[in-house]
Amino acid sequence: MNRTSVKIVVAGGFGTGKTTLVGSVSEIAPLTTEEILTEASVGVDDTTGVEGKTHTTVALDFGRITISPDIVLYLFGTPGQDRFWFMWDELAQGAVGAIVLVDTRRLETSFAAVDYFERRGIPFVAAVNRFYGECAYSEDEIRSALELSSEVPLVYCDARDRESSKLALIALVRHAMSRLPAGV
């Protein structure tokens, strides 16, 4: 049987929910490279807004979703801190697209991820993670703050919820497919 493998990156700033999204939607127990935040990260990692965070991804998260007998999605979650950004080029290589998770309490943590995928021409969707219920900002306000073009889909999700995470993935796959040349 010939299987088509599709690589998707789940990116965003520190504490936006990348590990949580990969874990909520993966059909396998996700591989994570989480380590305990230690005193050594004080002054290095900005935990403003995520003061209760105790662990962080230091390399990647990995999950898998079988769409059909011949199509499998492989999810690669990126680390969020600047000091681990050297991993992003490896993780993004060969990806058909990315979900950029956004925490509206700390929008600035998503700026670099949006820039990263824009500069490389990799299709992405901005997914506002509703950790705490409703979002206090309108779609126009979020688009303006992130300087998103009208072509970039903006979706809302709860990274803890499998169905919600699946909808964000569907939006990404549709967006990436819409950018394919005609006849492909």
DSSP string, 41-82: GTTTS--TT-TT--EEEEEEEEEEEEEETTEEEEEEEPP-SG
What is the per-residue pLDDT across 75-134, written as a single tens digit (0 to 9) for each?
999 877 666 777 788 889 999 999 999 998 888 889 999 999 999 999 999 999 987 777
Long-range contacts of 29-36 (CB under 8 A, 24+ apart): 30/61, 30/62, 30/63, 31/60, 31/61, 31/62, 31/63, 32/57, 32/61, 32/62, 32/77, 33/57, 33/58, 33/59, 33/60, 33/61, 33/79, 34/58
Is the confidence at residue 47, as pLDDT, over 60? no
Strand partners, 156: 128
Quote the CA–CA distance of 93 and 11 in Å, as a whole number.
13
Q: What is the pTM of this model?
A: 0.85
Residue 30 or 146, more confident: 146
In order of start, what are the domains of the chain with their CATH numbers? 4-178 (3.40.50.300)
Mean of per-residue pLDDT scores for the chain:
85
Quote the CA–CA distance of 177 and 172 in Å, as a whole number.
8
DSSP string, 89-105: HHHHTT-SEEEEEE-GG
Name the residue among 32, 56, 61 with its Cα closest to residue 42.
Answer: 56
pLDDT-derived band at 174 (thresholds 50, 70, 90) equals: very high
